[in-house]
Structure 1
Amino acid sequence: MFQLEKVIFKNIINIDRMEISPHKTTCLIGESGAGKSTLLKLLNKMNIPDEGKVYYNETPLQEIDSVKLRREVVMISQTPLLFGDTVEDNLQKGLMFSEKPLASRDELMKTLEIVRLDKPLDGFAERLSGGERQRLSLGRVLLMKPPVYLLDEPTSALDEETEIEVMKSFIETAKGHGGTIIMVTHSTNIAEQYGEEIITISK
């Protein structure tokens, strides 16, 4: 899926060689400031290495159109973005960006159930809490069904019990679509329960 060879980015990342397997959940763990988020952004060209190469399905990233890549390798940041006014607007926006058919009402409601977000579709997204916005973002990318999900601390605003519930449901659904999940997480529980591969990043 991904290979990194002799990758250096500023004074943050120095990787001799790394491989990330397809169709698995890979957790990136390590102390704050070690470069986990920086590494995640190297995988969809939000960061460009100063040296070395990153490959996606054996093709160097510099040979892949950035828009095309980011429709396949979809990222959620730790602080989720809101699009439009309502919950429905936000759920549909990823499909619009990726030029896919919009979801039906039933699909939208099912997605809200998966991410444990009990809010009406016509509710105002700006009124959601931080944890609710994170779950809304997870729902948005689930509807897109991309080959790769890049998740940067996707449940950091949730309590531990809710975090485990949401990630269990999310991972089962994403992998049911054949997805690969690469996730930065602060949660040892999440990494131990759902990380089929765990990569530790050290300063």
Structure 2
Amino acid sequence: MSQTSLLLDVQDVSYVQDGTTLLAPVSLSLNRGEFILLTGPSGSGKSTLLKIIASLLDPSKGRVLYRDRAIDQLKPEIYRQQVSYCFQTPALFGATVYDNLALPWQIRQKKVERDVLRGWLGKVNLPAEMLEKNIEQLSGGEKQRVALLRNLQWLPEVLLLDEITSALDEENKQMVNQLIGGLVKEKGVAVIWISHDTAEITQAQRVVTLQPPGGKEPHEPA
């Protein structure tokens, strides 16, 4: 890929909290339309790394560049529209599914189109009438899919996905995998996806494995 396709450049990023190293130094790059599977044992700092890339945590050392600019020099609200983080445990708000899916439209001061929202629900095997459903009545898997759709309403350049299919059955896992893979191929969205199941995400182009602090260096399989 050409240099102009480089979106993210993670340079020797590490994280220490209360004297404990939670993330050993990591370097990686992400190009437009690239799909990276991020894996590794518990305690290797996978979620910490994504939160740093998402500008939700400041690294103890190192830096993250977005389009050749350090992310701590960018306006967070603008950066997070282009580099979007989806948590493993979905954090829904308000009263209904509509409240969550309408938020990205409202942030951009756009008129919410309910038919578009219903169409997105269908893409993840959720019925159109769920738009008005109270979030307290949703299952864990339904909450994960609603949270994912909130990130997809206005496509970012980069999707950071933290085990977003952990509460889904096999059929819905495959459906989400195909949806994300399609966005990579058709829209050029770049993805870093945390998963312990390397067989689950068949769309990934690269696998990066983190090791716990004090272990081996992060590596990509040969």
Mark yes or no: TM-score above 0.5.
yes
Looking at structure 1, the residues matched to 196 and 26 of structure 2 have their Cα atoms a distance apart, in angstroms, of 24
Specify the code of the residue in structure 2 equivalent to 1:60.
A
Specify the code of the residue in structure 1 equivalent to 2:12.
K
> Which of 77-86 and 166-175 deviates more?
166-175
Q: Percent identity?
A: 33
Distance 1:89 1:18, change over 3 A: same
Distance 1:104 1:201, change over 3 A: same
5+ long unaligned stretches in structure 1: none
Specify the code of the residue in structure 2 equivalent to 1:167.
N
2:12 pairs with 1:6: yes
Aligned equivalent of 1:40 = 50
Specify the code of the residue in structure 1 equivalent to 2:132.
D
5+ long unaligned stretches in structure 2: 1-6, 213-222
Q: Do the aligned residues in 1 keep the contact of 2:30 with 2:190 (CA within 8 Å)?
A: no
Of structures 1 and 2, the larger Rg is shown by 2
**Pairs within 5 Å for 1:116-135:** 116-118=125-127, 120=129, 121-135=131-145
Aligned equivalent of 2:210 = 201
Q: Do the aligned residues in 2 keep the contact of 1:142 with 1:174 (CA within 8 Å)?
A: no
Name the TM-score, length of structure 1 as normaliser: 0.91
Specify the code of the residue in structure 1 equivalent to 2:50.
L
Q: Deviations over 1:29-64 (max 9, x none)?
A: 111121100110111211111112111111111211
Q: Do the aligned residues in 2 keep the contact of 1:28 with 1:200 (CA within 8 Å)?
A: yes
Q: Do the aligned residues in 1 keep the contact of 2:106 with 2:112 (CA within 8 Å)?
A: no
Aligned equivalent of 1:152 = 162
Looking at structure 1, the residues matched to 149 and 123 of structure 2 have their Cα atoms a distance apart, in angstroms, of 8
Specify the code of the residue in structure 2 equivalent to 1:171.
G
Specify the code of the residue in structure 2 equivalent to 1:178.
G
2:186 pairs with 1:176: yes
**Equivalent residue pairs, number:** 201
Looking at structure 1, the residues matched to 135 and 26 of structure 2 have their Cα atoms a distance apart, in angstroms, of 43
Structure 1 residue 162, shift from structure 2 partner: 1.8
The alignment's C-alpha RMSD in Å is 1.7
Q: Do the aligned residues in 2 keep the contact of 1:153 with 1:184 (CA within 8 Å)?
A: yes
Looking at structure 1, the residues matched to 81 and 32 of structure 2 have their Cα atoms a distance apart, in angstroms, of 17
